[in-house]
Amino acid sequence: MRKWLLSMVAGCFCLVGIYAILFTVPEKPILISLDATSQRTDQYCYTNVNTTPLDSDERIRLLVWNIYKQNREGWSQALDRFSEHTNLVLLQEANLNAEFIQWLSKHRWASSHVSAFKLFDSSAGVLNLAPNFPIKACAYTQIEPWLRLPKSALYSTYPLSNGQTLAVVNIHAVNFTIGTTEFEAQIDALKAAVESHEGPMIIAGDFNTWSEERTVELKERMAALDLAEAKFSPDARLAFITGWALDHVYYRGLTLETAEAPVSGASDHNPMLVTFKLVN
């Protein structure tokens, strides 16, 4: 019995040691802004007065994709293809490693990234790509109760050519929970951040809505913000074994033109491609 207990204690210490070696979790949410030539780090929020309209031809072409930390071959080619005609990309599980930074250096994008944690010294979390940096960007994190690793979200605002300001939330929701307490807390914090915004809005990402209970809680909060859910055709969004889709795009103050979720082997999630037209 004593040997078994000592073995258990030793095993726990080993797991803690491995966790400490592999992962670094910041005390506060960190926002990293970078493009092909510059990089800056802020706690919580970043503001920018020198920006230009996000849309092109009064349209927002959006890619939303959990990119699985770029762990599968062909991610860069797939990201090139899916983002080719877009002006806003919302990634979840983006790993800001040397390979991704090299990819970014070859493209026109301005990137806003929430450093939820570091894995082998590479930052991981949600990441936005746009032609220019947003007016404002704020980082949010929520600790997974079992894994003790944060999930992240990014609230940003972008100017539009019709004089309006678009609010955008890119979210990767907490996953492994009993009940919905932590899930609701994460969504409620973001809802509180955006509810004073009076213009158009997009809330999208990997919501980990693998149960009816989670889906209902999410839909209630999105309805309270007067947001509609994009319907996809084709619809190859990743679904849990329960049949509930994990990834969603919610919007308001915009006209939905197209929404498709094609199959891709470059991640464990399939991308969502959506086109919106501005409302004048």
User: pLDDT tens per residue, the chain (280 residues)?
Assistant: 444 433 443 444 444 445 546 778 888 899 999 998 889 999 899 999 889 999 999 999 999 999 999 999 999 999 999 999 999 999 999 999 999 999 999 998 999 999 998 878 889 999 999 999 999 999 999 999 887 799 999 999 999 999 999 999 999 999 989 999 999 999 999 999 999 999 999 999 999 999 999 999 999 999 999 999 999 999 999 998 889 999 999 999 999 999 999 999 999 999 999 999 999 8
**Whole-angstrom distance, CA of residue 96 vs CA of residue 70:** 9
Other beta carbons within 10 Å of 197: 16
13 alpha carbon, distance to own chain's centre: 33
- Backbone φ and ψ for 10, nearest 5 degrees, come out as -60, -40
Tell me the pLDDT tens digit for each residue of 146-173. 877 999 999 999 999 999 999 999 999 9
**Token pair in block for residue 221:** 């909060």
Identify the bridge partners of residue 251 per DSSP, sorted by sequence position.
Answer: 202, 228
**Token pair in block for residue 169:** 């939330």
pLDDT at 49: 87
**Whole-angstrom distance, CA of residue 269 vs CA of residue 72:** 11
pLDDT at 211: 95
**Token pair in block for residue 55:** 């849309």
Tell me the pLDDT tens digit for each residue of 73-119. 999 999 999 999 999 999 999 999 999 999 999 998 999 999 998 87
3-state secondary structure of 43: strand
| pTM (two decimals) | 0.92
pLDDT at 45: 96
- 184 within 8 A of 208, measured Cβ to Cβ: no
Report CA-CA distances (Å) from 185 to 67, 142, 175, 214.
Answer: 25, 8, 13, 12
pLDDT at 9: 37
User: CATH number of the domain at 25-278, out of 3.60.10.10, 3.40.1260.10, 3.40.50.300, 3.20.19.10?
Assistant: 3.60.10.10
3-state secondary structure of 181: helix
What are the extents of the domains in the chain?
25-278
pLDDT at 121: 81
Report the DSSP pairing between strands 228-229 and 247-252: antiparallel
- Helices 181-194 and 212-224 pack at an angle, to 10 degrees, of 10
- 181 within 8 A of 189, measured Cβ to Cβ: no
N-to-C CA span, the chain: 74
